[in-house]
Structure 1
Amino acid sequence: MEPDRKTAEQAIREAYESNPGSWAEHSRYVAQACENIATHCKGLSGEKAYVLGLLHDIGRYAGVSSEKHLIDGYRYCSARGWNKAAQICISHAFMIQDINTSIGTFDVSEEDFLFMKNFVANAVYDDYDLLVQLCDSLALPTGFCLLEKRFVDVTIRYGAHPFTVDRWKKILQIKAFFEEKAGCSIYDLLPGVVENSLRQEGAYA
C-alpha cells in the first residue's frame, strides 16, 4: 500500500533535511505534473500519481550520489511497504528496460548492480511507471518545462551517451501515449511551462 499525500510530503521534508538540494523542488514539480496529467486520464488516480511522482527521487536522502539514489530509494520505500513507490524509485530512470541504457554512474556494489539489472529487466511497468518517467522530463526545480529543455539540461550535466537519443525517443512516445489518453497536449496541463522553459536557470545537481 502506498502512503497518502501527507505522509509522502513529510518523507520529502525529512529527506531534504538529510540532504538539502534542488532535487526536492524538482520532485514537487514532478508530483504536480503527474497529478495534473493523471486527472485527465481514465483509470488513473491523481492522488496516487502525485505521491509516486513526489517519492521518485527519495533515495537522495542518503546523500549526493549518481545511480545509487535509485536503490537507496527502493530500499527506503520497500522498508515501509510502499511497493509501487519502491519500483518507481528504480523504474523512473529506465524508460528502456535495459540497465545499459543508464546515463549515470553505478556507484553501487556489484551485488546491488546485479540486483538492479535483474529488477529493471523483469519489472512490469504500468501507466504510473510511464507517467513518472514522462514527468521527470517535464520538471525543473523552478517549474514545468518543455521536454527539449529538460533533455538539454540533463545532457549538459551528464554528457551524451550511446542511448541518449533512444531515451529521448521513448519519452516522446510516452508523451504521445498520454496525450491520446488525456485528449489534449500535456503542455496544456502544465501552467507556466513555456515561460519557465525560457528561463536560463533551472539545472540541479
Structure 2
Amino acid sequence: MKNNILNGVPTLEEAKLILKEAESLNPGPWVEHSKYTGQAARLIAENIEGLNSEVAEVLGMLHDIGRRVGVYKIRHSIDGYNYAMEKGYSLLARICITHSFPYKNINIILDEWDSTEENFSFLKRYLEEVEFDDYDKLIQLCDALALPSGFCLLEKRMVDVALRYGVNELTIPKWKVTFQLKDYFEGKMNKPIYNVLPDIIQNTFK
C-alpha cells in the first residue's frame, strides 16, 4: 500500500520495524499481544467492505506502542499518542488513545492513572471531542480478542485484564460495550468473528 502516511499510519513493513525497536527497548508479553491484535484486525477487516485490512493490521500491531518507553498503566496511551504524532502518524496516534476507552468515560482509568494532571486534562478533553469510527471500534474489539499466546474468547481476555489491573464500578459497562462491538462487526460480516480467528478455542481453553 503506497502513500500510507496520507492515512495517518506507517506501512506494514515500517510498523514491523517500529514494533521490533520497541521490543528492544521494553521487551515483554505486550509485543506478542500486539501482533495478535493486528492479525485479528486484519482478519476481521478482510470481511468488511470499506475497511483497509493492512491499515487495520498496522493499527492493531501498534496500538500499544507507547509501551516502548517502559512498564506503565494508562500512561502508555499518552506516550503512544505523542510518539505517533511526532512521527506524523495521526490516525495511529488517535488509536493509541481510543483503544483504551471502548466505554468513553475518563473515570474508568482513575485507578490506573500514572501520568500528570496536564495529561489527564488533555485525555479528558480528547475523549469528549473524538467520535469513534470503525477503526477505533475495531481495535477496541481486537485488543480484547488477543492474548500473547494467540486469539481468545472475549471473556478470557476480560478476566486476564481484571486480574492484573483490578475492577471498578465501570468495568461491567465497559465489558457490555465490548460485547456490543462484537455484535456490531458480526452484523457487518454476516458471520461470527470467532470463525475467522484461527485456533481461538484451543488457545482459550489450553
Give the unaligned 5+ runs of structure 2. Answer: none
The code of the aligned residue for 1:8 comes to: A
Q: Cα distance 1:89–1:135, how it changes in 2: closer, same or farther (>3 A)?
A: same
Of residues 36, 44, 47 in structure 1, which corresponds to 2:43?
Answer: 36
CA deviation profile, 1:58-98 (whole Å, cap 9, x unmatched): 00000000111110000000001100100010100001222
Give the unaligned 5+ runs of structure 1. Answer: 200-205
Q: Using structure 2 for the length normalisation, give the TM-score.
A: 0.95
> Is contact 2:112–2:165 with CA below 8 Å preserved after alignment?
no
CA deviation profile, 1:131-151 (whole Å, cap 9, x unmatched): 000000000000000001111
Counterpart in 1 of 2:75?
68
Of residues 64, 68, 71 in structure 2, which corresponds to 1:57?
Answer: 64
Quick one: distance in 2 between partners of 1:110 and 1:152?
Answer: 29
Identity over the aligned pairs, expressed in percent? 46
Counterpart in 2 of 1:129?
136
CA deviation profile, 1:174-197 (whole Å, cap 9, x unmatched): 000000101100000100000000
Q: Cα distance 1:155–1:10, how it changes in 2: closer, same or farther (>3 A)?
A: same
Q: CA deviation at 1:102?
A: 2.2
The code of the aligned residue for 1:192 comes to: D
* Number of equivalenced pairs: 199
Quick one: distance in 2 between partners of 1:192 and 1:34?
Answer: 16
Q: CA deviation at 1:104?
A: 5.1
Counterpart in 1 of 2:146?
139
Q: Using structure 1 for the length normalisation, give the TM-score.
A: 0.95
Q: CA deviation at 1:103?
A: 6.7
Quick one: distance in 1 between partners of 2:118 and 2:165?
Answer: 24
Of residues 181, 187, 190 in structure 2, which corresponds to 1:183?
Answer: 190
The RMSD of aligned alpha carbons is: 0.9
Structure (1 or 2) with the greater helix fraction: 2
